[in-house]
Structure 1
Amino acid sequence: MNRRQLLGASAALPLMTIIPRSARAAPGPVPFAAAVVRQMAREAAAKAFKAPDNKLPDSLKDLDYDRYRALRFNPEKALWRGEKLPFEVQFFHRGSFYTNRVDIYEVANGQATQVPYQPEHFSFGATPPPPAGADLGFGGFRLHAPINKPDYYDEVCVFLGASYFRAVAKGQVYGLSARGLSINTGEAAGEEFPQFKSFWIEKPASNANSIVVHALLDSESAAAAYRFTIRPGDTTIFDVEMVIYPRVEIKNTGLAAITSMFFFGPNDRKEVDDFRPAVHDSDGLAIFNGRGEQLWRPLHNPRDLQISSFGDRNPRGFGLMQRQKDFSDYQDLESSFERRPSLWVEPIGDWGEGSVQLLEIPTKEEIHDNIGTFWRPKNPLPAKGELAFTYRLHWGPDQPKPSALAIFSRSGIGARGDDTKLFVLDLIGDKLKSIDPTKIKGVVTAEKAEIRNIVTQRNPQNGGWRLSFEMPVKSKAPVELRASLMQDDQAISEVWVYRWTP
């Protein structure tokens, strides 16, 4: 089972021993506040980590993909169905590779009540149902709201698998995912996968346009408490408040982590024999750094693991974007890559020194999530500390605030003879419409490589401009490139940064 399938299967990971419901009846309502989850995380971090018990009935073990997908929740049993509220909640069953239990609570009038697991609310297909009285808990949940039509509750977000969650905006389909916390991602010693263990979902008012979800996370290195305020719409917004309690010093932390897929595109079609022009959930990493610089880093599918680090202090935002939005960019009738969301992270408050990390992992199939990005603080998170971070996630068609600068909409790379590469970069934006064309020039630099034949010209097909250049390939070493459009000494575009690898 690979990471892509883990997300695509739409189910999650937390659990507990199978005990008859009569032996562990769900408690009645108890007082609840956000401070309760923080206290639970604080107390958990003060103790040694206890791995979750992932026992399951034999009938639910080792299910293949199709049999697991047949474990379906009955929508008529959705939480708040028929109450004319702006949200409903449906649940995922545990099974196969999703073995860990998640406990879910409804919060109403300041009281939390556990949502009971009821096997009769699921259909099991060819899989025998669990034994009578078994209390398996859930694998995760999804929120539904009338985001596209006023009379239909579409699925708008899913919390599912370790600390993964994903969402869509109006008119979109699922693509990339976020994570509550990543630890040791990209490290040779191996990655640690923190898991959401419990959720508390606040019952919304009848006129609410948002819903609040609290979560408790745990792992070998840390526990954490989360408060998500979720607002679906043309852009779906998550306001995230997190408090981390490290058990040990954590040197390699990933905050506001995003996971995506890039198989191939016009900048990277090595050894690709496919009728489609491109296959990806995201085509680039955008960064607004604390120095006021706007960067665009096209993604690629390398032959070897590539890790890029963009040092910064108090970043203004970063995210994985899907800028190619036309069907003609993909020609895929089933996957609708042009409708996949971009995800922009907006840090709130002082995040200090650190770096935006980008991981690009080789893949030979589109089923793998091979792209990751996150904020890594410069200093390790201290053991026994309490650290709070607040940020906003924007799931939608683009960055939440359009750039005043021209942006790179497409990056194409191809051969120019046997030992030269041709780079063709398209730019769009209102900035280009008000500039004297005789004063526009392309600026391209490269480390340890020669740049030739820099050309800028109007592109009548997209109403923007095209910047092209050639680079002789004289060695097998990677080359770091930067390009932008300038008017005299003023930048009129974001900065294109790229690591070319043979």
Structure 2
Amino acid sequence: MNRRQVLTGLAAIPLLQSQARSSFAQAADKSQPFDPSVVRQLARELAGKPYQTPDSKLPSPLANLNYDAYREIRFNPERALWRSDHLPFQVQFFHRGFLYNNRINIYEVTGGQAKPVPYRAGDFSFGDTPPPSPDADLGFGGFRIHAPINKPDYYDELCVFLGASYFRAVAKGEQYGLSARGLTVDTGQSGGEEFPLFKAFWLERPSPDASSMVVHALLDSKSVAGAYRFTIRPGDTTVFDVEAAVYPRVDLQHAGLAPMTSMFFFGPNDPADAADFRPAVHDSEGLGIFNGRGEQLWRPLCNPRDLQISSFADQNPRGFGLMQRERKFEAYQDLESRFEMRPSLWAEPIGDWGEGVVKLVEIPTKEEVHDNIASFWEPKGPLKAKGEHIYTYRLHWGPDTPKPSALARFTRTGVSARADNDRLFVLDITGDKLRGLDPGAVRGQVTTNKGEIRNVVSLPNPLTDGWRLSFNLITDQPPIELRAILMAGDTALSEVWVYRWVP
């Protein structure tokens, strides 16, 4: 079992007690009044009490499932929520087991009333695993939402909420790739990471002509509770409007907002150690940042030999995301994984987020089955205990950033070793801003914090209808922080390329 099998396998499944001490925890079949303030109140109550571990108890046949046995547990598509009502969204449920033992309670909200979605063993087929008793109340492991994306008469899988606070989505013509999370705590810290869990969901019943669906989620972990509201709009780009209210039990020194995780195994800037028929393997190739100072940054990802953490200080960021810019099959040559069809994920803060850093965590991996890349916004200073911290942002799952930029973009980073202390960097840049320029008017500006930059050359690249910038880095003092940009006089022609070189 590996990451690719898990992601591919779960997507291939045919349309297949630790709840807060509140009326919702006790309700079996009764409807309860509901509005968004209910979830916030539950989160406040959780944060004011000692943490209770999730209910992960299962009947013995289900308690120790392996990947193959779990994959055989299939939800009956005829039992999908709202299927018989012919609404624009349908919901199907994951059983508990394998990596997803924690009980998740799910409610349907209709007309201001919330009613539990009942668990019924008969809604699932179990393969060779003995099914639970017909009267068992096991809750769910998670759920996925289907909606017409590619064809008006077919309900494609749109997004999945499954495992801790992870969720992922696709847009028209895309396949699953990277994931988002509700919140990270201590990611990349030496003391280990905490994984908050979405422990309950409220699904608002859409109207027959709805173009969006609303999901509420209650988050909990040892250090923090939270309330989330997702407004999900599918399309050429699938958009999640996210309203998050965070209630720490303790001061959170390293909380990650709008977090996302991805995989980078190798690419032109960081080739594989072993021979591979594919020229690149990654779900995301770079971190893009539109910072509060008006700069646009591009940081190619790498698979480092040792853990790398990069922090990009900012105030009131305009957006950041893990991006898959290369969209040609020839760049990957993988008929199975189709990396050129993986979505980019862009986080757009709504309102001012103050001071902090966009953090990038790159973890070494020797296999492509691991998500080894994480990025998120970390506020300056802790999120104080007993407080309410509100953040609103928009997640864009799609081919690119939500707003086009007039600046040219770096499309490829190549690195070659010429000698022990000499590295050749070759950067390709494309964009309308570069067309028709006099080569004598364009210059590459390259800086480094250590070592020496030599032989900076910028020239048109007729094969890409863009430009190529190359230079040599002479140093024996890694790691090195590099910056590069194309200029015409004092005018920026391109975004800013930033890179950490480590041999």
TM-score class, shorter-chain normalisation, is over 0.9
Tell me: CA distance 1:43–1:418, structure 2 relative to 1, closer, same or farther (3 Å): closer
Q: 1:486: which partner in 2?
A: 487
1:292 aligns with 2:291: no
Aligned mates of 1:2, 1:37 — CA distance in 2: 35
Aligned mates of 1:459, 1:86 — CA distance in 2: 47
Q: Given that residues 165 and 197 in structure 2 are in contact (C-alpha distance below 8 angstroms), is that contact kept between their aligned partners in structure 1?
A: yes
Per mean C-alpha deviation after superposition, the further-off stretch among 130-139 and 222-231 is 130-139
Cα deviation digits, residues 34-87 of structure 1 (max 9, x gap): 001011101111111111121111111222211111111111111011322110
Give matches, 1:310-321, under 5 Å: 310-321=312-323
Aligned mates of 2:109, 2:462 — CA distance in 1: 56
Q: 1:435: which partner in 2?
A: 437
Q: 1:21: which partner in 2?
A: none
How far residue 126 of structure 1 moved from its aligned partner, in angstroms, is: 1.4
Aligned mates of 2:189, 2:260 — CA distance in 1: 17
How far residue 178 of structure 1 moved from its aligned partner, in angstroms, is: 0.4
How far residue 386 of structure 1 moved from its aligned partner, in angstroms, is: 0.6
Give 1:238's aligned amino acid: F
How far residue 264 of structure 1 moved from its aligned partner, in angstroms, is: 0.3
How far residue 486 of structure 1 moved from its aligned partner, in angstroms, is: 0.3
1:61 aligns with 2:63: yes
Q: 2:349: which partner in 1?
A: 347
Q: 1:398: which partner in 2?
A: 400
Give 1:428's aligned amino acid: T
Q: Given that residues 100 and 162 in structure 2 are in contact (C-alpha distance below 8 angstroms), is that contact kept between their aligned partners in structure 1?
A: no
Tell me: CA distance 1:163–1:106, structure 2 relative to 1, closer, same or farther (3 Å): same
Q: 2:191: which partner in 1?
A: 189
How far residue 417 of structure 1 moved from its aligned partner, in angstroms, is: 4.1
* TM-score, length of structure 1 as denominator length: 0.95
Q: 1:253: which partner in 2?
A: 255
Aligned mates of 1:67, 1:458 — CA distance in 2: 56
Percent identity between the two aligned chains: 67
Cα deviation digits, residues 223-274 of structure 1 (max 9, x gap): 1001100000000000000101111111110000000000000000151311
Q: 1:422: which partner in 2?
A: 424
Per mean C-alpha deviation after superposition, the further-off stretch among 85-94 and 64-73 is 64-73
Give matches, 1:115-194, under 5 Å: 115-194=117-196
* TM-score, length of structure 2 as denominator length: 0.95
How far residue 416 of structure 1 moved from its aligned partner, in angstroms, is: 2.2
How far residue 437 of structure 1 moved from its aligned partner, in angstroms, is: 2.9
SS in 1 for 2:434: helix
Which of 309, 328, 349 in structure 2 is aligned with 1:307? 309
Q: Given that residues 292 and 314 in structure 2 are in contact (C-alpha distance below 8 angstroms), is that contact kept between their aligned partners in structure 1?
A: yes
Q: 1:199: which partner in 2?
A: 201
SS in 1 for 2:435: helix
RMSD: 1.6
| Structure 1 unaligned spans of 5+ | 18-23
SS in 2 for 1:60: helix
Cα deviation digits, residues 190-226 of structure 1 (max 9, x gap): 1000000100011111111100000000011111001
SS in 2 for 1:135: coil
SS in 2 for 1:332: coil
Q: 1:113: which partner in 2?
A: 115
How far residue 463 of structure 1 moved from its aligned partner, in angstroms, is: 1.1
SS in 2 for 1:451: strand
Tell me: CA distance 1:359–1:9, structure 2 relative to 1, closer, same or farther (3 Å): farther
Tell me which stretches of 4 or more aligned residues in structure 1 moved more than 6 Å.
Answer: 1-6
Give 2:233's aligned amino acid: R
How far residue 158 of structure 1 moved from its aligned partner, in angstroms, is: 0.5
Which of 84, 87, 102 in structure 1 is aligned with 2:86? 84
SS in 1 for 2:149: strand
Q: Given that residues 356 and 374 in structure 1 are in contact (C-alpha distance below 8 angstroms), is that contact kept between their aligned partners in structure 2?
A: yes
Give 2:189's aligned amino acid: E
SS in 2 for 1:147: coil
Aligned mates of 2:4, 2:331 — CA distance in 1: 22
Per mean C-alpha deviation after superposition, the further-off stretch among 408-417 and 230-239 is 408-417
How far residue 10 of structure 1 moved from its aligned partner, in angstroms, is: 4.0
SS in 1 for 2:347: strand
Aligned mates of 1:90, 1:270 — CA distance in 2: 39
1:366 aligns with 2:365: no
Q: 2:33: which partner in 1?
A: 31
1:381 aligns with 2:383: yes
Give 1:211's aligned amino acid: M
SS in 2 for 1:51: coil
Aligned mates of 2:40, 2:286 — CA distance in 1: 35
SS in 2 for 1:152: coil
